[in-house]
Chain A
Amino acid sequence: MSRSPTWFSRLLMMLVFVFLYAPIFVLIVFSFNAANSNAVWKGFSLQWYVELFRDRIIMQSLSTTLLVSLLATVFATVAGTFAAIGLYNMRRRWREPLITVNNIPMMNADIVTGVSLCLFFVAVFGGWNAFVTWMEETYRLTAPRLYLGFGTLLIAHICFNIPYVILSIMPKLRQMDKNLIDAAQDLGCTWMQAFWKVVIPEIKPGIVSGMLIAFTMSVDDFVISYFTAGSATSTLAMTIYGMTKKRISPKINAISTLMFGTVLILLLIVNLREARQEKNAKARAAGR
């Protein structure tokens, strides 16, 4: 499109950025407030950060979040990679309906995904627990009873992560030359070698970006976790939701500041790296 920025367009964008960032800015500023308020400044203090790190529930839920996100990301990336390769090589007649089903968790409202998984787990576990009781009563055999908890939380996270992994790998598969595997085999690779040494490196950028998307989705999720974690397990988002029931709690400001800082630093690193790579690529192209 043609370039003609006017003062009006700049002003509008400025206003939108102010709208997007003013609340975050307020949160960050008042995280350093000495008083228990998000409106009246009573001097600088770090007491809310100290209290944040002393809060056992928050720290516990932070570790739950990180653990579930890491595990879900690993599982989803591996499973999603194989699934994407399999789906891509499938006959069209089978592939298209499967892709549609695969897209369901992405398209559906989060709450519906959460509720359906919750119902499913409760019903299956209810049946299983009744079966265990029956076994105990008739045969004196026992097995562990199942409840909503970390396991169901993990399954739910894997569930909504895999589609994103598949979605980011699919374009890379489409870009790949279909004859590459044959060529590798002609040159003496076994089929397995061809897969690991040709296909996987070829789609690696897709796998990496899928992994990143999966991890951020997991860390960010609240609604699906809320319905599948049960009462004993709590992710950070769930703990924060519990805390917002009291109106003002500057510890939340402190969490926000730390999260915003982390994201900002990560994004800066990623972008600087990209910029440097671009520069290098340009330099190489110029030197040729």
Chain B
Amino acid sequence: MRNENQNRLTWFAIPYVGWLALFVVAPIIMVVIYAFSTEGGGFTLSSFARMGIYTVVFARSFKLALIATAICVLIGYPVSYFMAKEGPQFQKAAMLLIMLPMWMNFLLRTYAWMSILDNNGLLNQIFAATGIIGLENTLNGWLNGLCLHLNALFGLALNTARATGMTSFRMLYSQGAVVLGMVYNYLPFMILPIYSVLLKLDNSLLEAARDLGASSVGVFRKVILPLSLPGVLSGITMVFVPSVSTFAISKMLGGGTQMMLGDLIEMQFLGGAYNPHLGSAISLVMMVVVVACMWVMNRFGEGEEQAVVL
């Protein structure tokens, strides 16, 4: 039953409804208008057509984001699973340890990897000191020699130009570095929702499954995995969306060479290639991706609220 008080309290939301209309809805409508308009103001689809030039960027963004998300699932699921099996004290400490890096700005975390993966960075210093780079050089020289012989013997065209004079491995400014940066930054976003779903699993369900004759693999496959799927899905969304839209990580760890969707949008608004119409069109595509992710998540069940709060 609604009463007078409820009606009165409803008015508290009115200013916020105005705020939402002004600063959430209007900007998004603006993006839509820009995406479908020309400089003069007429309707056009040319911004979407122009995105064709950037197919490579789209493909790279989705590829790297998918790889990063997959790695996060592969690491995050077992970690959450094992964590949920530990004692409460251990769980609390582990949760804190996983959350703590997230409180540091992601730029600083990414910068850390920049300095580690650098050609003169710590990792390369370690590789040089332990002789791994020298070993790789000798190995490459040996392989080159072998391939040279094989080519001469059988008329093959095997690669004989492997680098033999390396002083460092080139790790920074590669796709691998970008994926590493994404995994490093977003792994907690995968662990937390899966963990919170696993934690709430009813132990009696697992006992019942075992009593009814399921093997431990069977219990995992038929009970635990399906029940934890909402957590996995929200984890996937929470890793995939920021990964596919990142622009700082790809710029810092990928250099200028591994441009992603985020970089493309940034370029259209603040960079050299000023074109807000194209930028809006790409942003619109991004919004559609997010809505699709949300739709999938909502279809597969509850549990999204605590995932958002972290």
Contact = CB atoms under 8 A, between A and B. Distances in A.
Given A38-B122, A155-B23, A222 B30 contact: no
A105 B24 CA distance: 7
A253 to B, nearest CB: 8
B149 interface: no
A257 B145 CA distance: 49
Interface stretch (B48-56, B95-103, B150-158): B95-103
B115 interface: yes
A250 to B, nearest CB: 9
B112 A256 contact: yes
B216 to A, nearest CB: 10
Interface stretch (B134-142, B159-167, B278-286): B278-286
Nearest to A238: B107
Contacts of B118: 38-39, 247-248
B13 A110 contact: no
Interface stretch (A42-50, A54-62, A86-94, A132-140): A86-94
B16 A79 contact: yes
Interface in A27-73: 27, 30, 37-40
A31 B221 CA distance: 47
Nearest to A181: B5
A107 B115 CA distance: 32
A216 B104 CA distance: 10
A248 B118 CA distance: 9
Contact of A240 (B27, B28, B105, B201): B105
B10 A3 contact: no
Contact of B17 (A24, A98, A123): A98
Contact of A107 (B25, B244, B294): B294
A220 B283 contact: no
A263 B104 contact: yes
Interface string B69-112: 00000010011001111110010001011101101111111111
A159 B26 CA distance: 13
A74 interface: no
B265 A111 contact: yes
B12 A83 contact: yes
Contacts of B270: 226-227
Given A83-B13, A191-B8, A222-B248, A256 B78 contact: no
Interface residues of B, number: 92
Contacts of B107: 222, 237, 240-241, 244
B97 A24 contact: no
B2 interface: yes
A164 B283 CA distance: 23
A196 interface: no
Nearest to A103: B308
A142 interface: no
Contacts of A90: 10, 13
Given A87-B13, A116-B27, A194-B5, 9 more contacts: A16-B187, A27-B108, A38-B116, A85-B13, A107-B290, A236-B105, A244-B252, A247-B115, A248-B115
- In order of increasing CB-CB distance, the 10 nearest A-B pairs are A86-B13, A86-B12, A9-B82, A83-B16, A38-B115, A116-B27, A23-B112, A109-B245, A120-B27, A89-B9
24 contacts: A5-B85, A9-B82, A9-B86, A10-B82, A16-B75, A16-B187, A20-B187, A38-B122, A98-B17, A101-B20, A101-B24, A109-B286, A109-B287, A111-B283, A115-B283, A116-B28, A117-B23, A120-B27, A162-B19, A227-B270, A237-B105, A256-B104, A256-B111, A267-B100
Interface of B: 2-3, 5-17, 19-20, 23-28, 30-31, 34, 75, 78-79, 82-87, 90, 94, 96-98, 100-101, 103-116, 118, 120-122, 124-125, 184, 187, 198-199, 201, 203, 206, 241-242, 244-245, 247-248, 252, 262, 265-266, 269-270, 276, 279-280, 283, 286-287, 290, 294, 305, 308-309
